[in-house]
Amino acid sequence: MYRFLIAHFPNRIANIIIALWYLFLLILNLYSSISVEPQGAFRYVGW
């Protein structure tokens, strides 16, 4: 994705977009972890 952005936008804008995207994911992750009960450990884990 970063490569695509660099190719189509000026460097600075590409960097800002990517930073925002990461931030967005981070917030969403935090939100998910708060709002969802921790799932029973995943089947593959430990196997």
- Judged by the rule CB under 8 A, the positions of this chain that interact with other proteins are 22, 25-26, 28-29, 31-33, 35-36, 38-39, 41-47
Distances (CA, A) of 7 to 14, 22, 28, 38, 46: 9, 19, 27, 40, 42
Cβ of residue 8: shortest distance to other proteins, in angstroms?
Answer: 19
Cβ of residue 24: shortest distance to other proteins, in angstroms?
Answer: 10
Question: Do the Cβ atoms of 17 and 6 come closer than 8 Å?
Answer: no
Cβ of residue 36: shortest distance to other proteins, in angstroms?
Answer: 5
